[in-house]
Amino acid sequence: MSENVFTLSNGEDLPVIIQTRRGARNITLRPKTRPVREIHISKPFLTSAGAALRFLESKRRWVERIFAAAPVKITLTPGDVIEFLGRRVELAHNPALRANKFVLKDDGGAILIIGGGADMFERRARDFIKAEFLSAVREIIKTAPREFWPRRIAVRDASTRWGSCSTTGTMSFSWRLAFAPPSVMRYVIMHELAHMRHMNHSPAFWATVGELYGFGVERAKQWLTRHGGELHRYF
C-alpha cells in the first residue's frame, strides 16, 4: 500500500505513487482508473514529495472528474446476472465441476456454471467470456469479403484501444467489447477490417467502414465514445 493517499470527496482513498525522474522538468499527474484505481506522480529530482502532493491537491477538481466518470470495479459472485455478447447470463458456481458449463434458457438468456474453487470464480468466468468473444469475432469477420480478412487475430485487454490492425495483417481486439451491444462490437471489427485497405483514417477509410458495416455505423460509433468506459466495470 502506498504511504500517500488522496481522498476523494466521496470518501474513497486512492493510493498515490510518487516517482522521481532525472531529467524531468515538471510534475506530471497520471490518474489511473484501471486495472486498479490509483494516482501516479512523476516529479523532478529536486522537487519534494510534499510539493508534488500540493500540486495534486491543486488539480483536485480535474482528478475528481476523471474518477467520477470511470466505473468502479464490480466483483462478480454466484447469482449475479451480467450481459455479454448480447445475452443476459446468470452466474452460478459448482465446485464439483472440473469445466465450466453454459446452459441456454428458453427465454433467450443463459446460465454459466463455473467449476472449481471459489477463489477461481472470477478468473474462470473471465476466461470463458474471452474465449466466447474470440469465437464471435471470427464469425463476424466471416461476414465481410475475404479480401478484408486478417492473417491473425489476437485478444487483448488494452486500456485505451478497442482494436488495432498492423501492416502485417494482425488484428487485435479488446475482449471487453463482449460487454458492449453486438452492434458496437461489430462496428469495431469492421473498423479494423477497413484498415486492411486503408492504413489511415482518411475519408476513403471511413467510406469503407460504412460499406462494411451498413446502416447505423454512426450510432454504434457514438455509443462507444459515450459508454466505452463502462466496459471496464468487471474484472
Give the pLDDT of residue 150.
98
Domain boundaries, the chain: 4-69, 81-232
17-33 confidence digits (pLDDT tens): 999 998 899 999 999 98
Domain 81-232: CATH superfamily, name plus number: Metalloproteases ("zincins"), catalytic domain (3.30.2010.10)
For CA atoms 214, 129, 229, 155, give the dihedral sign.
Answer: negative
Residue 69 dihedral angles phi and psi, to the nearest 5°: -80, -20
Identify the pLDDT of residue 1: 47
pLDDT beyond 80 at 186 = yes
Residues 6+ apart with CB under 8 A from 34: 70, 73, 159, 232
Measure the CA–CA gap between 11 and 5, rounded to whole angstroms.
11
Residue 165, Ramachandran bin (φ over 0: left; ψ between -120 and 50: alpha; else beta): beta
Laid out side by side, the sheet with 28-32 consists of: 4-7, 13-20, 38-43, 28-32
The helix (H) or strand (E) run that includes residue 185 is helix 182-194
pLDDT per residue over 41-53, tens digit each? Answer: 999 999 999 999 9
